[in-house]
A and B are shown apart, each in its own frame.
Chain A
């Protein structure tokens, strides 16, 4: 609770960091914010070639590009937050060493800047809906709570990885690899339905599995999300945030000594 009050007090700082991150990210680039689209779009093109042109992977009855892209933009948001969040403390080492401020503000700022990228990338998604003539349903509004759940889980992950990275720089090397494996362990390039039944209980332990599948249900198929999966994901995310926060706050006290 105190954490939330402190957070509200520092919203200006979070927004300042976020603005800095966004401005700095696209300064002196030719394409600027278009990079927010280029990244998920190029993955979509590659996956479309591999899984729809060379091989045919079932795509829940919608064109493969929109099937892949509708998951990829959310995954990119998650992956970018985790990659940058993990190194957030060390990337701001000169600040962390010299000045006190709640360190998690850096993590929030990174999540906000990834969220802005997601907004930009979703413009293309809207275009694809029109192009492929896929109808959009009222259930699309479910995206908002699902996204909040995803952010909660993202926060849990970066709390742990960023604190760990301060002490063990191995984490920074491991995370990009982990994320790559993680992407294939989530229903992004293939539908959830193609996961064999015997594997599914273990497969669904990954909160991102339920989250990604839910985006497709509400966006592409006009269905309600699977509340069973989402509740499980929510519980996992809450537990992780709680544990991660305790860990982060304990580790934060000595960041300046070891960074």
Chain B
């Protein structure tokens, strides 16, 4: 067997845009009539992938990244043979297993046991294989007690665990994983990650789709970045993810303009900016540096003790932490029609990555907001990277490690 696991040779995939859920025969006749009248156009089509070529070797773990709608799922669908490319060719060497949607083949009326067999069969396992691995699968899923209960009585967490357990035991040569790292509780997630690490050690080829850059960096040996249906970069994880984040960051920066708040709001945000300690506007910071978030506001009428808030997000918009001015007590300059408040971060404690800021002004009891600008500013931080595995998560607190020396009585 050659060392090549996956090969895409100028693969393109075109989808027809449609306006309803399905076509009726009448629609189809209308479309044909339009086409013969020469009125059909490219506007009816959408290229999910355009001229995509890449090669993946056996034993590689490739992270597939890109924004929503970039074509990642289409690439996976072609790899798993669910759909065929419109043009171009592809080739896979070895058995392909897909963890695309865990439990897609589950039936609510059947018991857990029956569903394991059914799902295994759908994924191409033989009965003997499932027999041999049944106990392992059940143990992995942690639903032993309910294995003979119909699935409709399972919690969604149990269902997901059982689905992942079956999929993780297919033992394919090429495993496609789509965002399933985010299933279950933390303990189960760790189990899933260990399973992937185990498969990696067995020299399986893995294609991992995720929006979570830390897990991409942690697992991938190479990263493929797809953007608008074409390959933007394919290379070592660190630099590819960095390029991607830079790109996302620029896109975010160009899209900050938000419509002005409703005019009846007594106080509104006029602008938000991220500055360094010297007062210069910055879009990237270094770990440990001092920085400031300034919120400029305008008053239409006097407001009783407004509360300013700043929330930081990760690249997917998940809030990481927020602060309000009420915590510290902040008094506005009386009588002024406009002004600026400032949140001083001393110092910046983020790990390396891209972050976003949402600013808002609330009423005194923080029950409703006067104005909010979601994801108004995004910025990058250079600092300790999760890719090194020396840190994890989004923050590194001032800290130190010590060796505890037992005190001996003299």
The residue that B28 contacts in the complex, of A19, A168, A253, with Cβ under 8 A, is: A168
Query: Contact at A257–B83, with CB atoms within 8 Å?
Result: yes
Query: Contact at B82–A12, with CB atoms within 8 Å?
Result: no
Chain A contact-residue range equals: 20 to 34
Query: Contact at A94–B104, with CB atoms within 8 Å?
Result: yes
Q: Which residue of A lies closest to B85 (CB)?
A: A253
Which of B61-69, B110-118, B199-207 lies on the face that meets chain A? B110-118
How many angstroms from the CA of A99 to the CA of B150 in the assembled complex? 23
**Smallest Cβ distance from B183 to chain A, in angstroms?**
15
Is there a chain B Cβ closer than 8 Å to A20's Cβ? yes
**Smallest Cβ distance from A113 to chain B, in angstroms?**
13
Residues of chain A within 8 A of B118, CB atoms compared: 16-17, 19-20
Query: At the interface, is chain B mostly helix, strand, loop or mixed?
Result: loop
Q: Which residue of A lies closest to B123 (CB)?
A: A99
Flag B145-164 by CB within 8 Å of A: 1 or 0 each. Answer: 00000100000000000000
Residues of chain A within 8 A of B80, CB atoms compared: 99-100
Is there a chain A Cβ closer than 8 Å to B389's Cβ? no
Query: Contact at B114–A23, with CB atoms within 8 Å?
Result: yes
Name 13 extra pairs, CB < 8 A, besides A12-B126, A170-B24.
A13-B122, A20-B110, A20-B118, A94-B105, A95-B122, A97-B104, A98-B104, A99-B105, A99-B123, A100-B82, A168-B24, A256-B82, A258-B22
6 nearest A-B residue pairs (beta carbon): A100-B81, A16-B121, A98-B104, A253-B84, A13-B121, A27-B109
A-B contact pairs, 30 of them (CB 8 A): A16-B117, A16-B118, A17-B118, A17-B121, A19-B114, A20-B114, A20-B118, A24-B109, A27-B109, A28-B109, A94-B104, A94-B105, A95-B105, A95-B122, A97-B82, A97-B104, A98-B104, A99-B82, A99-B100, A99-B104, A99-B123, A100-B80, A167-B22, A168-B22, A169-B22, A253-B84, A254-B83, A256-B83, A257-B15, A258-B22
**Smallest Cβ distance from A98 to chain B, in angstroms?**
4
Q: Give the A-B contact count at a CB cut-off of 8 A.
A: 78
**Smallest Cβ distance from B47 to chain A, in angstroms?**
13
Interface size on B, residues (CB 8 A): 30
Interface residues of A in 214-258 (CB under 8 A from B): 253-254, 256-258
**Smallest Cβ distance from A103 to chain B, in angstroms?**
11
Flag B309-349 by CB within 8 Å of A: 1 or 0 each. Answer: 00000000000000000000000000000000000000000
Query: Contact at A24–B107, with CB atoms within 8 Å?
Result: yes
